[in-house]
Chain A
Amino acid sequence: MVSITRRRLGVLTAAAVALGAAIGLNVQAAQAETVLRVIPHADLKNVDPIWTTAYITRNHGYMVYDTLFAMDENLEPQPQMVDTWEVSEDTLTWTFVLRDGLTWHDGTPVTAEDCVASLKRWGARDGMGQKLMDVVASLEATDDKTIVMTLSEPYGLVLESIGKISSNVPFMMPKRLAETDPFEQVPEIVGSGPFMFSQEEWVPGSKVVYLRNEAYQPREESPSAAAGGKLAEVDRVEWLYIPDQTTALNALLNGEVDYWENPPVDLVPILQQNSDIVVEVLDPLGNQGMLRMNHLHPPFDNEKIRQAVVAAVNQETYMQAAIGDPEYFNVCTSLYACGSPLETTAGADLLVNPNMETAKKLLEEGGYDGTPVVILQATDIPVLNAASLVTAQTLRDIGMEVELQAMDWATLTSRRAVQDPVADGGWNVFHTWWIGGDISNPVTHTGLSTGGTERAWFGWPDDPRLEELRDAFSKETDAAAQKALADEIHARALQVVTHANFGTWFNPVAYRSNVSGLIKSPVQFFWNVSKE
């Protein structure tokens, strides 16, 4: 029998007290640190938001970096790092003064020179930035806090450009990093945003960690989309990439994560059965599907045949196949984001009233000769896979020959860049989508560019008139005149058929009920979000 001596008892008691104290300290430490665990929509594979347009890298950019201007919930640009600004009477000279107390994560102050270098790097990569830089005669720092931009001619989208909400966002970084070749990644992630990137904890394909930036000086205004005060309410934000949807679902149900950025609509009913889970749509603009035809080769080098496709596109059918639940999709024919200020139906008769007979008539007028249509089918992206199948059936129904070519998205992105005829590896149709923030005006909407093989986006429509109109829009400074031009561009784009809009859908987010403060915006932000 084991006897417990007084000495042994004393040792045991001391050990128990020490263990208890250690546990207590650990509990206190755990209580002191609030961690928001997020399942992001994709894996963060690269961390330079100017080098890539990937949305996940853009979201990472918003964690780490700040912007001179930012879009509010009405898609109006508001000052963010900028304190005051003024524009000369001739609208050619723009002067921006930075806020006091802005510092980089390495502790050095933010200077106007840093911002000038950042704008130049962004302007070398981003489409809207390139358009702005075309009219920038000079961009310089006149003192530590003042940036002066001089234009060679009036430009109507200065603030919209430097405050654009989606990729590439003009994020500010220190000059030493902003001077990196825009086609190479920055070697270090140093921003001035509300969170700091924890480089040593980054495991690509698995985990990204952000730490609260204690030195961040938020604006006083309430948060509104990307604008307003950015208050980091949690100590750590961990992005845990879980590619398997069932595993992600189980992790959220089991409380192992707090927030799931893109649960598939199919799983929403399961989430809604759990009273600890909230499911809602935070993106008011949603995503717009694009059916893109190749203008270079038959049969879609023929305007009538392109119009026939548009006439046959029934958004309801596409959305039923791709999304399913009507609560999460919308039938809306505007090529600009539905719900954005420029939303319109100008020239959208064929899309508004899809009609197979009209489509067949247009096909006949276009002299369709039975040329097979090659559709690139991205089988690894369910929405695009479904859209490809619907398009294939729709085209067959109006009498076209169709060949579906199945592939993964990575293969599709290289195939769609091929300008050769179909027999030599080219293509006729592919599908993709845009988030509403990307297509809120004719300049940011890359799909509306019609500069032919040299300057237009994949599919390469060529229409000088449409390019003139887009150019006029960018230079117009009067809001009413801009709106009229936007309508004219819309009608022209549907006449030449840059593309067809196959529907708008809204990705819900799901989170534990102890999480609050989420911001309604086309982009997901994690400032202002707290966890009880």
Chain B
Amino acid sequence: MLGFIVRRLLATIPVMGVVALFVFLMLHLSPGDPATVIAGDYASPADIERIRAKLGLDQPLHIQFGTWVWSLLQGDLGISIFSNLPVTQLIGQRLEPTLLLALTTLIITVVVAVPMGVIAAWKAGTWIDRSIMIFAVVGFSIPVFVLGYILIYFVSLKLGLLPVQGYRPISEGFFPFLRSITLPALTLSVIYIALIARITRASMLEVLDEDYVRTARAKGQLEWKVLIVHALRNAAVPIVTIIGIGIALLIGGVVVTESVYNIPGLGRLVLDAILKRDYPIIQGLILMFSFVYILINLAIDILYTLIDPRIRY
């Protein structure tokens, strides 16, 4: 297993190299120039050229790429063109809201979706199953921003229970944090609850027809034990896979939620950077996201071996 983990980690190096090259070329070959954005409406062409020179954007692409990669190898993601602050500092400021939003969403999702899927499969064909599946279809179809505005309207504006927007760091106290994260996490979790509940149901339905489940029931096992110990554990591999993909999607998917609830997270950071062509931030964040995706995939592969002893690497 250790050998597998080391091999997988070593394999990330060429993957990250390809990502770095792709991101760099994609940004630098697409239209838009940060120098013209900085220079503003009053600048002369000479001013723009001077700004480009100061930013090193007048250098040939291969030199710019080499300089960036050399800095990366030293752990330096660069300096934001606009704010003049280190990209690592900007990411550090935004990491907590995004991570905690993703984590809270994940907890809500797993706690709600897996039991829903199990119950739907257990009561397949009944009104309970149909109700859960209707919820899943609606939850999967409703756009995140629409759901966000609906929740804000009723929960915040009409009932005055939770704030409309903003994020309170956990260092300011757990309850202020919880108040600020509840609505965004609920909004974001609905789509994932719908997705994971459907996958859980489908996977459980397959397993519930297996002989060993029938045997367990024939032995007089309690129904909850049949469902949880025998069926769910065997149905878990596709569920864990989809939860893993869900985490990866969450990191990208928080952009809209962060905008609707005005949470200063990584999603907003990358969006603002793209609009201003702040290359170091975009490059640093995409690299970081890629690395996180790779780690999540690795973690899922390791989890498989814990869930299913037949899987060995």
Interface residues of A (CB under 8 A from B): 43, 45-47, 51-54, 125-127, 167-168, 181, 183-185, 203-207, 240, 242-244, 246-247, 250-251, 253-254, 256, 380, 407-411, 413-417, 419, 432, 434, 446, 453, 455, 457
Contact = CB atoms under 8 A, between A and B. Distances in A.
A183 B50 contact: yes
A122 to B, nearest CB: 12
Interface residues of B, number: 49
Given A250-B157, A254-B156, A205 B269 contact: yes
A247 B261 CA distance: 7
A256 B166 contact: yes
Interface in B247-298: 259-262, 264, 268-269, 272, 275-278
B44 interface: yes
Interface stretch (B30-38, B201-209, B221-229, B238-246): B30-38
Contact of A244 (B33, B45, B260, B264): B260
A46 B84 contact: yes
Given A251-B164, A256-B164, A432-B41, 11 more contacts: A53-B39, A127-B42, A168-B42, A183-B51, A240-B166, A246-B149, A250-B156, A254-B160, A254-B163, A409-B275, A414-B31
Decide if the interface of chain A is mainly helix, strand, loop or mixed.
loop
16 contacts: A45-B82, A46-B83, A185-B84, A205-B268, A240-B166, A242-B165, A243-B262, A247-B261, A251-B165, A254-B163, A256-B164, A410-B37, A416-B36, A417-B33, A419-B45, A453-B45
Contact of A247 (B33, B90, B164): B164
B40 A167 contact: yes
B272 A43 contact: yes
A414 B83 CA distance: 20
A446 B41 contact: yes
Nearest first, the 6 closest Cβ-Cβ pairs linking A and B are: A53-B40, A206-B264, A414-B33, A45-B82, A413-B36, A250-B164
A417 B166 contact: no
A244 B259 contact: yes
B33 to A, nearest CB: 4
Contact of B32 (A203, A246, A411): A411
B275 A247 contact: no
Contact of B90 (A127, A184, A204): A204
B7 to A, nearest CB: 39
Contacts of B156: 250, 254
B93 interface: yes
B134 interface: no
Contact of A417 (B36, B82, B157, B269): B36
Contacts, number: 130
Contacts of B50: 183
B149 to A, nearest CB: 6
Given A240-B166, A253-B157, A413-B37, A204 B262 contact: no
B175 to A, nearest CB: 14
User: Which of A204, A246, A414 has its CB near the most chain B CB atoms (within 10 A)?
Assistant: A204
Nearest to B53: A183
Contacts of B85: 204
Nearest to B270: A205
B54 A247 contact: no
B42 A183 contact: no
Nearest to B152: A250
A52 B40 contact: yes
B259 A243 contact: yes
A242 B39 CA distance: 24
